[in-house]
Structure 1
Amino acid sequence: MTDLNDLLLLRAALPATPKAVHAALTDPAALRVWLAEYAEVDLPDRYQFWGRYTPDGAEPHQRVLHADDNTLRLAWTVDGVETTVEITLADGDDGTLLTLTQSDLPTFAEVLSDQAGPRGALQTFWSLAIANLADYVAGRDLTPKCDYTSAEMRASVLIDATPEAVFGSLTQAETFQRWFGAKVDIEPFVGGRFAMGGFDVDPGGVKFVEFEPGRKATLNFAGALTSSWELDGSDGKTRLTFVQSGFDVDNPPYPGWAGWLGGVAELRRFHEIPQWRTIWREMHAPGIPAEMLTIDV
């Protein structure tokens, strides 16, 4: 029996019936919208997705192990390692409770060391994919996907909220924790620290090198790596553009970039959905400190 500590586990409430979610999971045309560049499905024999939005996605590497109306189980070979993915659907209070697990993933520490290869991108690949699936079945605009073939990390979204409100959500620790689902400490000024996991975990944090309320903030990580948020308001809405640069272009930080994109999907819902409640019900990743996650369901 596989130890839970070796598994990625993501559980989310999706705003649609299990039948509608199952259709979105198994219709190749739908998959090409919310999941992958290419997809081919002919169950129970074939379920494949690949392309630039899939880690190690030059070719399809999935093999069906089981498929019915509520469960899809795949063998997925990533970077030469066979993993097992299982997606289950159940009735939930908010529509459908989707649970995804994947085996044989590197630990959180290995991902942070940049030595995990394409398997290190799978946790945030799935969190972004599920976030986009939630918006797809709700008929909402999707968040940009991570392109695992490109070293350009620039994306933008339109949020139905003022720049001041969006900027506050990005720079006020208590609010950031609500929508992002992870503990963070923030000192909101130039030279101030930003520490995912909190200052107890990362006392030095990263530093704000630009901080213009309602307009722009830039964080400087180790070396030349920077992450910028630019906000442009019009008619009560905000165009949020986010850029990551200064990294080794031969080893782009895809796990963090996809994780940020998945977070932005929840930021959009946080500001746009009345009586917002996070879609996430449970998250577990190998080696991630339990105190880092702050999902409040």
Structure 2
Amino acid sequence: MTENVEYSLRLPAGVDRVRAALTDPAQLRVWFAEHAEVELPDTYRFWGRNTIDGADGADGPAQRLLAADDTTLRFTWTIEGTETTVDIALEAEDDDTTVLSLTQDGFPGWGVVASGGGGTIGLIGTYWALALANLADHVAGREVGPLPDFATTDLRAEYLVDASPERVFTALTDPAQFARWFNFPVELELEVGGRWAMGGFDNNPDPARIVELEPNRRMSIDFGSGVGTSTWELEGSGGKTKLVFSNSGFDTADMPWAGWLGWLSGFAELRRLVELDAWTPLWIEAGAEVPEGV
């Protein structure tokens, strides 16, 4: 049985600005896809190394446009031979704010994905979380964070954050702040050997372990077989912080893409949290209930 991926977020731009970002090929290539071809009302297509199951666009379009107007976009997207449907709707709150709602069917479910299943189509949940977070930065005129690269096995992303290493480290390790930007709870013991439990200790019988810790500089978390070790490195200069995030020790034949995309989508919101004086969450509807046995 499948279900829908559903997201709703508040974007800091008017409807016309958001629609242009969604339908202008040059803008799509900034925040979304390596390649994009749009000729409304007939063609809406994207592919390349930044797209799920899209490294080779020569085999023909994986997307088929169904409808498009000033506030809606609807297309099919075939992933691993399965045709799914994506619906995007825009609603103006005022001249400078737009609520975007997105659904895509065919999702195997958050519980399946959290347990390591779901295949390629199971990536659409965290894929859209990252894409929409990057869209929010793009329409706000902010630098867009790293896009996913499905053509590599080197999982490394770098951010320049306009905040001190101490501020960034606190956002990464304080459970209350972590839940604000990641939109999911965590419990942890901030020491080498300490537990790191996504969903909390009660929901995670086999938590990750902190294996390296240099406050305000570096932390590594071992998530175990199949997922590997995640490392955050912080380097401050001129009041800003270079944040390097990497994953290592995983099986390259079974890449941990779902988790990687989830982390990158979270870091986009972390940057907003520590950089914006009047931060408010992007997400109106996002994330998932904690599956049993996360």
Question: Structure 1 residue 203: deviation in Å?
Answer: 3.4
Equivalent in the alignment of 1:71: 72
Equivalent in the alignment of 2:32: 35
Equivalent in the alignment of 1:45: 42
Q: Which runs of 4+ in 1 moved over 6 A?
A: none
Q: 1:106 & 1:127 partners in 2: Cα distance?
A: 16
> How do residues 227-266 of structure 1 correspond to structure 2 at under 5 angstroms?
227-266=230-269
CA contact (8 A) 1:7 1:284 kept: no
Question: Structure 1 residue 9: deviation in Å?
Answer: 0.5
Q: 2:222 & 2:176 partners in 1: Cα distance?
A: 22
Equivalent in the alignment of 1:131: 133
Could you give the per-residue CA deviations for residues 104-145 of structure 1, whole angstroms, max 9, x where no partner exists?
Answer: 111123223433221111111111111111100111001101
Equivalent in the alignment of 1:25: 22
Question: Structure 1 residue 187: deviation in Å?
Answer: 1.1
Q: 2:223 matched to 1:226?
A: no
Equivalent in the alignment of 1:110: 112
Q: 2:179 & 2:238 partners in 1: Cα distance?
A: 27
Q: 2:80 & 2:112 partners in 1: Cα distance?
A: 15
Q: How big is the alpha-carbon RMSD for the aligned residues of Structure 1 and Structure 2?
A: 1.8
Say how many residue pairs are matched. 287
Identify the match of residue 180 of structure 1 among 157, 179, 182.
182
The gaps in structure 1 that reach 5 residues or longer are 293-297
Equivalent in the alignment of 1:54: 51
Q: 1:156 & 1:269 partners in 2: Cα distance?
A: 15
CA contact (8 A) 1:172 1:188 kept: no
Q: 1:66 & 1:284 partners in 2: Cα distance?
A: 27
CA contact (8 A) 1:10 1:101 kept: yes
The two structures have a TM-score, normalised by structure 1, of 0.93
> How do residues 73-222 of structure 1 correspond to structure 2 at under 5 angstroms?
73-92=74-93, 95-222=97-224
Q: 2:275 & 2:81 partners in 1: Cα distance?
A: 41
Q: 2:192 & 2:82 partners in 1: Cα distance?
A: 44
Question: Structure 1 residue 284: deviation in Å?
Answer: 5.5
CA contact (8 A) 2:13 2:98 kept: yes
CA contact (8 A) 1:219 1:227 kept: yes
Q: 1:170 & 1:115 partners in 2: Cα distance?
A: 27
Q: Which shows bigger deviation, 7-16 or 92-101?
A: 92-101
Q: 2:277 matched to 1:277?
A: no
CA contact (8 A) 1:193 1:204 kept: no
The gaps in structure 2 that reach 5 residues or longer are none
CA contact (8 A) 1:76 1:82 kept: yes
Secondary structure of the 2:225 match is coil
Q: 2:206 & 2:261 partners in 1: Cα distance?
A: 24
CA contact (8 A) 1:8 1:284 kept: no
